[in-house]
């Protein structure tokens, strides 16, 4: 399992870089954990990036999981149908 830790903010200006970083971190045959415990803000662009990486992982039978998600982030994920990312 590979873990990536996010800090600070993910917004329209940084979402593409986040997606590229997560795609590079994918290790064939294992899940990817993104620790969002130190994330202070994420907008729709950041959530879309997470969703696209999750889709890519699922196509190969793997999962993207978020660790340390706040209740507010869990609610946003649920509204977007991404509740499986932060069980």
pLDDT for 87 beyond 80? no
> Residue 60's domain spans which residues?
2-85
Write 80-86 long-range contacts (CB < 8 A, 24+): 80/47, 80/51, 82/47, 82/50, 82/51, 82/54, 84/54, 85/50, 85/54, 86/36
Average pLDDT (58-78) is 91
Task: Quote the number of domains for the chain.
Answer: 1
Taking 80 as the threshold, does the pLDDT of residue 4 lie above it? yes
State percent of the chain over pLDDT 70. Answer: 100
Q: What is the pTM of this model?
A: 0.88
Whichever domain contains 24, its CATH number is: 3.30.750.24
User: Residue 1 CB: number of other CB atoms within 10 A?
Assistant: 10
pLDDT tens digits for 24-50? 988 878 899 999 999 999 999 999 999
């Amino acid at each position: 399992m590979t873990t990536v830790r996010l800090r600070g903010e993910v917004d329209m200006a940084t979402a593409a870089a986040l997606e590229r970083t997560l795609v590079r971190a994918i290790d064939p045959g294992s899940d990817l954990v993104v620790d969002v415990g130190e994330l202070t803000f994420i907008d729709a662009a950041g959530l879309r990036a997470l969703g696209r990486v999750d889709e890519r992982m699922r196509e190969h039978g793997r999962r993207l999981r978020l660790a340390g998600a706040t209740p507010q982030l869990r609610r946003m994920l649920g509204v977007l149908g991404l509740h499986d990312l932060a069980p």
